Structure 1
Amino acid sequence: MMQALEQHLIDVRRSLHREPELSYEEFKTTDKLRTWLAKAHISVLDLPLPTGLIAQVGQSEGPVVAIRCDIDALPIEEQTGLPFASGIPGKMHACGHDFHTAVMLGAAMLLKAREAGLPGSVKILFQPAEETGHGAESVLASGGLDDVAAIFGLHNSPELPTGTFGTRTGPFTAGVDRFEISVEGIGAHAATPENGVDAIVTAAQIITTLQTIVSRQCGARETVVLSVTRINGGHTWNVLPERVELEGTVRTYNEEIRASMPEKMTRIIEGIAGAAGAKARLHWAPGPPATINDGVWADFSKEIAGQAGYEVHDIPPQMGGEDFALYLQQIPGAFVNIGTGPAYALHHPRFDVDEAALLPAARYFALLAERALVQLKEQA
């Protein structure tokens, strides 16, 4: 049985990998999931979700736990050369969400096989649009998780060898915010800069001065990253442009610091621009907050991982982002990493996972959900 299930999960993962879909476009992916779940006689909740879904296994009486994966892909041209590589130009499962989806489908099938003995029910969440940082919002708004007492999610980790597991209590991933800065100067010939206001020099001063927020306005023990990642200005070699655009991101685990960043940045941006005779404006695009694992459930997830045969690690916090954080603001739970072997980094066009990690991860999440139900039942 397990050999057949493992092959099925490999086939599922490869089917998803061949036909990646971007955030909010996961219609074919959702249809495939409905088909696979129906064949396994697993019910799907009727919810107002255009893409993605929540399946349910278990008893109508008793506690409810949820396990979650994400299903969307990235706008990346695949360069793996795999026989099941993406057939959609410019789209790829470069973050392993195909792996996540296959894992949770396998967990759902294993839970279905022992449904009669479950002391409650498990909701299996196949979430859309994680890459936007806002997909979890639509799931929470649907009401599909209103009765959930504990929730667990995963991400594959190319930094961890296959057979290893990692999580931690407290901050797991950082809050992720994006910003854009527009700098308006006065164009002029490069030979006569005194006739204009140099938007490029102004933007350069803004970039360097923004770094003093981290070094001089945040505590030395705080973890804060402010990165300018895009500069766009000018069209030719001998003209000072009127406009320069900057874009970047801020990452931190501290919600108080996160909330203060727009004001701190605006002071610097407007002050430097004003001193130069230019104008500048900040546009702030908030993303998901920091993922904060509940200590009890993080320890519980590590205990079950050890029982499932994983080599368990207490890993350091990560500066990447994850909208699973939104669930943990409302429902206690834990986010974990499953090792998928040495590989190219997440979001790399040659990224791949070790498929030998599929079945063990499916078995782990089925066991985790079942044991969590038992614990919640005993506490009731």
Structure 2
Amino acid sequence: IDALPLTEATGLPFASGKDGVAHACGHDAHTTILLGTALALATAPELPGRIRLIFQHAEEVMPGGALDVLSAGGLDGVERIFGLHCDPRLPVGRVGVKPGAITSASDLLEIRLNSPGGHTSRPHLTADLVHALGTLVTGLPALLSRRVDPRTGTVLVWGAVHAGEAPNAIPQSGVLTGTLRTGDRGTWAELEPLVRELVGGLLAPLGVGFDLHHRRGVPPVVNEADSTELMSAAIQRALGEHAVTGTPQSSGGEDFGWYLEHVPGSFVRLGVRSGQARARDLHQPTFDLDERALLVGIRVMVGTALAALAE
């Protein structure tokens, strides 16, 4: 594995951690694990190769900071890449492993509607923009479920809708935003034209104009089989044979997927739940982790690094 010397390390091991402001999904924990991995490997008298540690920046900003890392040559010469992410569903000491797709592609949708506006007593003399928004809110997810193979795990969920202020006035503009996710790489490539077609079809009878901004995000994280087997074996050696468990494909997005489109690798779920209280989900302000998971994460990444170098 070609890499910068550890003394020049600038990031997340080929075990992907996070940097930046502490976030409710545990970015500070990922950074701590990465730094601990670097310190542990730096104490080795000699390594049979080199390791590059890459801090993943701007992961939450579509289409992901991994593209900046790639454009800067961050993966040049790297043979394999590995990463992990906290998982509050798993107890400390367990690591979720899955060959193939482990996350989903994630896009952002923003649909801006426009109409002449008017009075709610005379909707027949204008175009009812709020009714059009409601049509999209319910109709677009329903149509997608009939036009896309349900086995792909494609799901559209709205996060915000805004229009008007007065109860007796039909507004002239409104906006609808949400996320569109799919677990299938091929389906991801086909979604943008399909969404545009369906939005146009739903709004055509209503006389409301629209402007669709479909911002493509990140591809699915697709774990390569050999790298996943290597990482799984390294975890068992580091933590014991019962440490490895299966994990389902998540509908969440992760820009580590961009790395795996350039080099083989694997991405796992690190258990952080103490079992003392009700598990808190990621991206909740109450998210917390059992700090014993930090040492577990370091052992996972150091063990994986040494196993990869020994190939």
Q: Same fold (TM over 0.5)?
A: yes
The aligned residue for residue 286 of structure 1 is: 216
Q: Secondary structure at the match of 2:52?
A: strand
Q: Which residue identity does 1:193 align to in structure 2? A: P
Conservation of the 8 A alpha-carbon contact between 2:54 and 2:74: no
Q: Could you list the runs of 4 or more consecutive aligned residues of structure 1 that deviate by over 3 angstroms after TM superposition?
A: none
Conservation of the 8 A alpha-carbon contact between 2:24 and 2:283: yes
Conservation of the 8 A alpha-carbon contact between 2:80 and 2:265: yes
Structure 2: tracts of 5 or more residues without a match: none
Specify whether residues 368 and 238 from structure 1 end up closer, same or farther in structure 2 by C-alpha distance, changes over 3 A only: same
Conservation of the 8 A alpha-carbon contact between 2:129 and 2:171: yes
Does residue 362 in structure 1 map to residue 304 in structure 2?
A: no
Shift of 1:115: 4.3
2:45 and 2:75 map into 1 onto residues whose CA distance is 20
Provide, for residues 129-164 of structure 1, a one-character-per-residue CA deviation record: whole Å limited to 9, x for no partner: 111141101111111320100000110110000110
Q: Secondary structure at the match of 2:195?
A: helix
The aligned residue for residue 332 of structure 1 is: 264
Provide, for residues 246-270 of structure 1, a one-character-per-residue CA deviation record: whole Å limited to 9, x for no partner: 0111111212221222222212222
Provide, for residues 212-245 of structure 1, a one-character-per-residue CA deviation record: whole Å limited to 9, x for no partner: 3332111242211111221100111111101121
1:220 and 1:93 map into 2 onto residues whose CA distance is 33
Using the size of structure 2 for normalisation, the TM-score is 0.92
2:90 and 2:289 map into 1 onto residues whose CA distance is 11
Does residue 125 in structure 1 map to residue 54 in structure 2?
A: yes
Conservation of the 8 A alpha-carbon contact between 1:172 and 1:316: yes
The aligned residue for residue 260 of structure 1 is: 190
Q: Secondary structure at the match of 2:23?
A: coil
Does residue 173 in structure 1 map to residue 103 in structure 2?
A: yes
Shift of 1:70: 1.1
Specify whether residues 268 and 364 from structure 1 end up closer, same or farther in structure 2 by C-alpha distance, changes over 3 A only: closer
1:260 and 1:147 map into 2 onto residues whose CA distance is 32
Name which structure has the greater RCO, CA cutoff 8 Å, separation 6+: 2
2:50 and 2:223 map into 1 onto residues whose CA distance is 22
2:193 and 2:23 map into 1 onto residues whose CA distance is 37
Does residue 43 in structure 1 map to residue 7 in structure 2?
A: yes
Shift of 1:175: 0.3
Q: Which residue identity does 1:70 align to in structure 2? A: K
Q: Which residue identity does 1:192 align to in structure 2? A: R
Conservation of the 8 A alpha-carbon contact between 1:270 and 1:281: no
1:238 and 1:213 map into 2 onto residues whose CA distance is 31
1:150 and 1:220 map into 2 onto residues whose CA distance is 32
Q: Secondary structure at the match of 2:51?
A: strand
Q: Which residue identity does 1:216 align to in structure 2? A: R
Structure 1: tracts of 5 or more residues without a match: 1-40, 46-52, 56-64, 74-91, 376-380
Provide, for residues 8-38 of structure 1, a one-character-per-residue CA deviation record: whole Å limited to 9, x for no partner: xxxxxxxxxxxxxxxxxxxxxxxxxxxxxxx
Q: Secondary structure at the match of 1:183?
A: strand
The aligned residue for residue 17 of structure 2 is: 69
Pairing of 1:333-352 with structure 2 (within 5 A): 333-341=265-273, 342=275, 343-352=279-288
**More displaced 10-residue stretch of structure 1: 254-263 or 244-253:** 254-263
Does residue 228 in structure 1 map to residue 172 in structure 2?
A: no
Using the size of structure 1 for normalisation, the TM-score is 0.76
1:232 and 1:356 map into 2 onto residues whose CA distance is 44
